[in-house]
Each structure stands twice: as C-alpha cells, then as structure tokens.
Amino acid sequence: MDELLEKLSNARGVAGQEGEVRAILREALFEHVDELSVDSIGNLIARKKGSDTARSHRVMLAAHMDEVGGIVMRANSDGTLKFRSVGGLDPRILPGKRVRIGEEKAPGVILRAPHAARSGRRVMPISDLLIDTGGAGGIKPGDMITFESSYEEYGALLKGKSFDDRVGCYMLVELLKGAYPCELVGVFTVQEEIGLRGAGVAAYAVEPDAAVALEGTVADDLPRQQDISPTTELGKGPAISVMDRSAHADRRLVRILAETAAAHDIPWQFKQPGVGGTDVGSIHLARGGVPAVAVAVPCRYIHTPAALMDPADVKNTIRLVSNALSGPLGRPLRAEWSEE
C-alpha cells in the first residue's frame, strides 16, 4: 500500500523502547509540520497551525508507537531466555513463534520449559515459556522481544506484526500532511499497551479542545459466528467507539464522525461497546477533561505476528478524519449538551 506503512509495521518498538519508530516518524514528518518535539516521557508531538486564525480550536490526534512484545528477564547459561510480556500477549499462540531480541535483532524461538511440557497442561502461562536463542551472545535483561514477521500484501489484505498501532501512526502522518481550519497537534504516544501512560501526560501538556485516538482494533469476523456482536468487521470501514473499558466517547464527536461519514459516502461501523481500551482513556481525563473519541481500522489476529487488515479501511479512516477536520471537528464544539 505504501512504503511508510511497511517501514512502520516492520520497525520494532515495545513500550518504553519506541526509538526506532520515533526516528522513522520524525523523518516522515519534519517537512510537513510547523514544530516537532519529543516530551519527557518520549511522546513525539507534531504541531501544525490552523488556517482559521480568528478562532482558537486545538484538536489532538493520537496514535501509539509501541507494540505488544516481550522483555528479557534473564539470559540462562544454556542459551535460553526467561521473558515476560510487555502488553497483552495471548499465551495460546506463543510456542513455536519466531522472535527478534534486542537492538542486534538476535533470532529466537519460543518454547515450553521442559518441566511445564511434562505438566500435561495444554496452554502454558508465559512464566512457563522460554526463548531458545541458539546460544547468541550479548543478550541482556531488559532487551526487547518482538515477533519476527514482515509486512506483506496478503491476497486483498495487508499483513503485519504491529498494525496496532502503526496503522494509526501511518494515518496520523497522512493527516498531518493536510491543511485544516483548526490547530492540529499530532501526538505519537508511548506506552499505550501497558496502561495508556504516554497519552495522559501528552494531553496534559497539549491541552486540546477535542481529541481523536487513531487505532488498529480487534476484528473477529471470521469464521462466521452465531448472530452475536462482532467486535468489528474487515472492509466495513472505520470503527467508531461509543464506550469501552477505558472511556465513554463524547457523544457530540461520535455524531460528528457519523454525519461526516454519511455526507461523504464513507462506510463506517460501531466498534462493539464494552471491550478494549485506547489512549482516549487517559486523554479524556486530562486536566479539566477533554471531549474525545477513538476511531480504528479493524485488524484480524491483532497482537499476533500476522495481523490482517483491509487497505480500503485505512483509506476510509483517513478520509473520514480528514473530512471531519475540514468540517465540524475543525470548529469549536457547541457548548450546550443537548442530545437532540
């Protein structure tokens, strides 16, 4: 789909070690924004002035740079590593997966510890898994562990290890290339996967009037299930969150996105309410509160080495947010709280 998306997806960066992703983004952004800075916790903040200088309205768009992965706890003398997850990894999918370790990208494969393999349990907790490095030297506690998996076109879809949330980072770069009436602050956040930590301090510093988190989110549309709530479905457009575990979306912003989609013939869907959490969880509680909403690209097999997404959903999410910024999202929200 795009060279930048490929680079971002292949880049390695678990929470706390987002440097490689940040470097790619700086390179991609510097000629498109007015100001680029990195804050004390590592968030990359890109500011772009608005064309409407008569009214002050600051919109923050957030996408997180970190991906789920692991961290080395101990390097054993036999060439195996004890590790922990950084963010939510499903232990059922781990044994046999290939990983890359540390800055040198040493190869490794996840295996079951022998005592655990004898326990008769079918699913081992991560504490009973090890990584076999084949005896690679130089690996230290604290080194990050990421899935070994490359970006590729996959039928009509795209495959990558970290569309959550590099697709958000990609969309945010594309959106920052545009011109809008409002002041736009793009924040590439750190440490989302371990508790929405970067976004909270960024929102405190930025003091936005409204915020949108751009995400890659769970899709569970295959195989076809009983007629119950799908989280999201591929190809049906951007998924708008009304409520998840971290936040209730501002209803005015939900309406702005839905009406913008209708006006521009962009398909969209609700994300299944009640599941997951996004940077909105910490952004909306910053200072005296920030109206906020999350909009996401559906991804099958998220938090695995092979997330799949539909490029049409990526394009439509960019179109939706771009049109909203040029329209009602780019202007001050109506103060009254009528729900119509």
Partner 1 sequence: MRALIEELCSVFGPSGDEALIRELIGQHLTELVDEIRTDRLGNLIAVRRPTAGNGDGKRIMLAAHMDEIGVMVTHVDAQGFCRFTTIGGVSTNTLIGSRVQFANGVEGAFGMEGSPLSRERPTPQKLFLDVGAKSKEDAAVQIGDTAVFRSSFGAVGDRLFAANLDDRIGCAILIQTLRELESSPHEILAVFTVQEEVGTRGAATAGYGLEPEVVVAIDVTATGDFPEATPMEVALGKGPAIKIMDRRMIVHPKVRGWLENAAKANDIPYQLEVLEFGTTDASAVQISRAGVPAGTVSIPCRYIHTPSQVADLNDARQAVSLLAHALGGEFA
Considering only 38, 220, 270, 311, the residue that binds partner 1 (CB under 8 A) is: 270
Q: Is the distance from CB of 171 to CB of 214 less than 8 angstroms?
A: yes
Q: Which residues have C-beta within 8 Å of that of residue 79, sequence separation ≥ 6? A: 132, 133, 134, 135, 136
Q: Write the DSSP symbol of residue 225.
A: -
Indicate whether 3 belongs to the interface with partner 1 (CB under 8 A): no
Give kind and range of the element (H or E) at residue 319: helix 311-326
Q: Write the DSSP symbol of residue 4.
A: H
Smallest separation (angstroms) from partner 1 to the CB of 222: 17
Nearer to partner 1, 63 or 254 (CB): 254
Indicate whether 265 belongs to the interface with partner 1 (CB under 8 A): no
Nearer to partner 1, 148 or 220 (CB): 220
Nearer to partner 1, 120 or 288 (CB): 288
d(CA 307, CA 9): 10
Indicate whether 287 belongs to the interface with partner 1 (CB under 8 A): yes
- Tell me, by CB under 8 A, how many residues bind partner 1: 26
Instruction: Sort strands 183-189 and 58-64 into parallel, antiparallel or unpaired.
Output: parallel
Catalytic residue among 18, 192, 193, 215: 192
Smallest separation (angstroms) from partner 1 to the CB of 334: 12
Nearer to partner 1, 187 or 286 (CB): 286
d(CA 171, CA 294): 13
Indicate whether 36 belongs to the interface with partner 1 (CB under 8 A): no
Give kind and range of the element (H or E) at residue 185: strand 183-189
Indicate whether 221 belongs to the interface with partner 1 (CB under 8 A): no
The candidate with the shortest Cα–Cα distance to 86, out of 105, 100, 67, is 67
Could you say which residues in the range 81-110 bind partner 1, by CB under 8 A? Answer: none
Indicate whether 136 belongs to the interface with partner 1 (CB under 8 A): no
The candidate with the shortest Cα–Cα distance to 21, out of 163, 140, 159, 148, is 163
Nearer to partner 1, 50 or 230 (CB): 230
Residue bearing tokens 């949330």: 165
Q: Which residues pair with 270 in a beta bridge?
A: 240
**Would you call 192 a catalytic residue per the annotation?**
yes
Indicate whether 54 belongs to the interface with partner 1 (CB under 8 A): no
d(CA 184, CA 180): 8
Considering only 36, 38, 113, 242, the residue that binds partner 1 (CB under 8 A) is: 242
Neighbours of 301 (CB within 10 A): 18
Smallest separation (angstroms) from partner 1 to the CB of 273: 5
Q: How far apart are the first and last CA of the chain?
A: 41
Indicate whether 186 belongs to the interface with partner 1 (CB under 8 A): no
Indicate whether 337 belongs to the interface with partner 1 (CB under 8 A): yes
Indicate whether 285 belongs to the interface with partner 1 (CB under 8 A): yes
Nearer to partner 1, 62 or 318 (CB): 62
d(CA 265, CA 331): 21
Segment lying near partner 1 (by CB under 8 A), choices 1-9, 66-74, 280-288, 314-322: 280-288
Instruction: Sort strands 210-219 and 183-189 into parallel, antiparallel or unpaired.
Output: unpaired
Q: Which two tokens stand for residue 83?
A: 């590790």
Q: Which two tokens stand for residue 90?
A: 């499903």
Distances (CA, A) of 280 to 202, 203, 213, 215, 289: 12, 10, 6, 10, 11
Smallest separation (angstroms) from partner 1 to the CB of 31: 34
Indicate whether 40 belongs to the interface with partner 1 (CB under 8 A): no
Nearer to partner 1, 13 or 208 (CB): 208
Smallest separation (angstroms) from partner 1 to the CB of 272: 5
Indicate whether 225 belongs to the interface with partner 1 (CB under 8 A): no
Q: What residues line the site for partner 1 (CB under 8 A)?
A: 227-230, 242-243, 247-248, 251, 254, 270, 272-275, 284-285, 287-291, 335, 337-339
Give the catalytic positions in this structure: 192
